[in-house]
Amino acid sequence: MDNTFYHENNLSGLKREDFKKTIDGKETDLFILTNEKGAEIAVTNYGGAILTMMMPDKNGKFESVIQGHDTIDNVINSPETFLSTLIGRYGNRIAKGKFKLDGVEYNLTINNGPNSLHGGPTGYHARVWDAEQTSANSLALHYLSKDGEEGFPGNLDITVTYTLSNDNEFIITYTAVTDKKTLVNLTHHAFFSLSGVKNPTPSVENNILTINADFYTPIDEVSIPTGEISKVEGTPMDFRTPQTVGSRINDNFQQLINGAGYDHCYVLNKEEQGVLTFAAKCVDPDSGRSLEVYTTEPGVQLYTANWQSGFKGYHGATFPARSAICFEAQRFPDTPNKAHFPSAVLAPGETYHQVTIYKFGIEK
């Protein structure tokens, strides 16, 4: 493991010794990414978890705009299992933890009501990734997911690269290959708090949101897509023009009731699948910080941290319900059981590839 770019005077105030642990013979560590503008991202290779993301506000003040923890033990034992971590082998839900490939039924671990969520309880969020920091602004993470892990077929060889560009872009590049036909739906569950994390971290309901999607996938009472692809037009799901997150979140609308707020996959407007395009924009009017999302994926899950409990995180910050917003770039939920959804199947000889960019800016 190469970690020659760590420096003690990092903006986050995190200490490397607080992230050193041996788990199943593999070492965890702290990695610091920096760029020429003074921005900084702190990462641990346990679950690829982002710990802090130091970005300036309209007055030039740097604060962490992501929810995370300040020790490895707190990451491992977080009340929010997926807090700002990598997700796989399958992001989002698979109904009843079952799917068929070539006539063979596979059974996954159930960890969310009657369903499998985010790859199961020992998914990629709970694995120690091999890490190599190749430059001050880039970190390569590698993991070999074994055949049968959490019920998924095939040995999946995955590389994820985190890059902090000089334009304050957090760029995630994913590649994966398999030796047996399998499902692959990788994502990152970053919990963004553009106001800066605090005690308590403010609600995101004042954030101004735009999503480049005419359609979304409605869900049932256990958050599984019904199979419909519905228009956002005329509903509280419509963010084609800028709206505050909170303006309709408590409406008496069945989809918002089912999700306890926004927890839905948006079908991104794309002329060609697999091309990097604009997905969403979010602005925090108080700090002036903005976030633009670009992805090669066909969908993005909007989640407004409806189930956060107010637990403590980084440097005493607390994370109440709706104090973060997530943009999880992905294939649609329960795709293997919905033949008309974009496929998440990967076969030997093929390469899974995804690029997702989170670009930070200032609007004064």
What secondary structure letter does DSSP report for 129? Answer: P
CA dist 133 to 44, 221, 260, Å?
11, 43, 39
The CA-CA-CA angle for residues 282, 80, 108, to 5°, reads 105
Q: What is the C-alpha to C-alpha distance for residues 163 and 172, in angstroms, rounded to an integer? A: 7
Nearest CA to 164 out of 39, 66, 46 is that of 39
Residues whose CB is less than 8 angstroms from the CB of residue 257 and which lie 6 or more positions away in sequence, other chains included: none
Whether 189 is catalytic is: yes
Structure tokens at 363: 């609007």
Instruction: Starting at the earlier edge strand, list the strands of the sheet with 326-330.
Output: 230-231, 213-217, 263-268, 299-303, 326-330
| Per annotation, catalytic residue among 69, 118, 189, 264 | 189
Structure tokens at 189: 């569950």
Q: What are phi and psi of 76, to 5 degrees?
A: -65, -40
User: Which spans in 136-261 are helix H?
Assistant: 254-259
| Per annotation, catalytic residue among 150, 292, 297, 328 | 328
Whether 233 is catalytic is: no
User: Active-site positions?
Assistant: 189, 328
